[in-house]
Chains A and B, each alone.
Chain A
Amino acid sequence: MTNAIIDLTHLVKKFGKQTVLKDINLQVMSGEIVGLIGPSGAGKSTVIKTALGMELADGGSATVFGKVMPNRQLLARIGYMAQTDALYETLSGRENLKFYAQMKGIHKSEISDSISHVADVVNLADDLDKRVSGYSGGMMRRLSLAIALLGNPELLILDEPTVGIDPALRRQIWKELNAIRDEERSILITTHVMDEAELCDKVALLLGGKVIAFDEPVVLKMQYKVDSIEEVFLKAEGEFK
């Protein structure tokens, strides 16, 4: 295992009596987009939060950049987008971006360049000075994604980034994600859109607290003898039951 940016081994996570993650093994290499799919409530967000150190694992280990999480300094190198938008609604889009840029410790001189770059990626440049309370649902999602992209982090962890985003913009965002991957940066992404899963370099299928399949989309499709990741998903879920 060389170069593993995220390395989860035998990860266990319990909430009270409920064991959400039983035995998670997952590696994200540098220059790789890994898609995490699974039914709602399978524990995708929990995997992400444990990897980030926002939840403490009950067993196993989570290392990021070769260091055991939780680790505060490492967070500067990670761009995280939560499933909820988590924006300050009384502030404008620009003020939100600026605040998070300051929190990430991006240098003063680079903040405004960084803001205009990420705003272009999510097509929000014209609405940056509007208050977020006046944004549509999709605009909030885009702003949230823009915040994660700030400061060109080496690792992006995105929890359902494209919910409520129109097809044209989704395509644009994936173009950006591919460009990021081509810069040898890594992305861990969760999604319910199986078309997007096809675009990942590797797909991890989370079921019953375990990663039951983890490979390239082509390999997975061959393995399950079907034509699309969607069918892989349905077949795996059916077998599991």
Chain B
Amino acid sequence: MRTIAIMNRVIKELLRDKRTLALMFLAPILILWLMSVIFTANSTTNVNVGTVAISSSVSTNLNQVKHVNVKHYQSTKTARKALKDDKIDAIIHKSGNDYTITHANTDSSKTSAVKMAFRSALVAANVKTMKTQLGAAKATINKLQKMLPVQAQQKLRAQSQGQVSASKQSASPKITNHYVYGDSSTGFFDKMLPILMGFFVFFFVFLISGMALLKERTSGTLSRLLATPVKRSEIVFGYMASYGILAVFQTILIVVATIWLLGVEVVGSVFNIIIINLILALVALAFGILLSTFANSEFQMMQFIPLVVIPQVFFSGIIPMDSMASWIKDISYVIPIKYSGDAVTGIMMQGKNLTSFGLDIGVLLIFLVVLTILNVVGLKRYRKV
């Protein structure tokens, strides 16, 4: 009951602070938009693709894709030399039914451009051949069917459908990607987006909730609140509920903006992303409230940004940790954004389920519980019971 009253009050206060609200919702979109501008500008760079033993239909299709130049090579050896000399950005090699793409991968935007171009070229070629094949097959089948009695006709139809789907399967070849430098995860932007999303949620909830509680303390409303029979936990939960709701809206907005502005494909469920970000927001809130007790003014609260918030980005996984000293890796284990980033990456890029991130969610929940308990106990500073 009191928790809900506190939640209502905090939300009311937030809604009336139009500027903070605008910052919370518009700033992430602005930044994402800026990034999208930079990102799309990047992707129009021309890529040179070397092909070895590729069917002419695929090759012409590939050449038709904008900003892609195709060069034919007689052998993989000459192609590799060209790749080494920086004349081409990738080699596409066909052996049997399967394709192998070797990316130079020095520029991740080129790598993804090649992947996309090749996939679309392949699909276009497939569709064409399938169309002609299907057309021919259908024509002969129809001809034959007409000559047969009705019962046999039905049998055949069922069979022919089976054949079509079988031919579809055989038509999709395996594509293997190789990288001269780094690996598939080197795609900087792809990797950054889920973490960035978490960062926005974390940053704003941390800062605004911290400031809000700081204001409660400095204006004296906190001690007045604590002069009523309210429980300390009710105050913390009230704040959690209100900022949780806020985070849900923020996440929805960011996800929609990501899909819309950046054209990023979200493979998994948006709902799952919201859940992860909601948990992250609660962690950020608990963190903000906790740190606000160590600040005596808004300015001192701001000082936590370079100290606490920015390092989160470095250890969140945006920068590959594999090559770093192990003690640096150890630090990353206490960075909440790392866990949400892992989970959201998986959901967004690979369409994984929440259940596959039990560990990440578990760690976030441990953060949440520990910080919440610290907060509830920490309020004892202002009232002894």
Contacts and interface: CB of A to CB of B under 8 A. Distances in A.
B5 interface: yes
B229 A54 contact: no
A88 interface: yes
A54 B17 contact: no
13 contacts: A53-B384, A53-B385, A54-B383, A72-B229, A76-B228, A84-B220, A86-B224, A88-B13, A91-B9, A95-B12, A103-B6, A104-B229, A105-B228
Contacts of B224: 80, 82, 86, 100, 147
Given A88-B9, A90-B13, A103-B5, A82 B220 contact: yes
A187 to B, nearest CB: 16
A72 to B, nearest CB: 5
Nearest to A104: B228
Interface residues of A, number: 30
Contacts of A87: 219, 221
A99 B231 contact: no
Interface in A192-207: none
Interface centre among A82, A99, A147 (most CB of B within 10 A): A99
Given A53-B383, A84-B219, 12 more contacts: A72-B229, A72-B385, A73-B229, A74-B229, A82-B223, A82-B224, A86-B220, A89-B219, A100-B228, A103-B5, A103-B225, A103-B230
B141 to A, nearest CB: 74
Contacts of A102: 1-2, 5
Contacts of A99: 5, 9
B65 to A, nearest CB: 55
B227 interface: yes
A76 B227 CA distance: 9
A85 interface: yes
A39 interface: no
A82 B226 CA distance: 12
A52 interface: yes
A19 interface: no
A76 to B, nearest CB: 4
A104 B224 CA distance: 11
A91 B9 CA distance: 8
B227 A70 contact: no
By Cβ-Cβ distance, the 5 closest A-B pairs, closest first, are A86-B220, A102-B5, A86-B224, A103-B228, A84-B220
A112 interface: no
A125 interface: no
Contacts of B16: 90-91
A238 B5 CA distance: 51
A89 B220 CA distance: 12
B382 interface: yes
Contacts of A80: 224, 227
Nearest to A78: B227
A72 B231 contact: yes
A81 to B, nearest CB: 9
Interface in B336-385: 382-385
A147 B225 CA distance: 11
Nearest to A87: B221
B385 to A, nearest CB: 4
Contacts of B225: 103
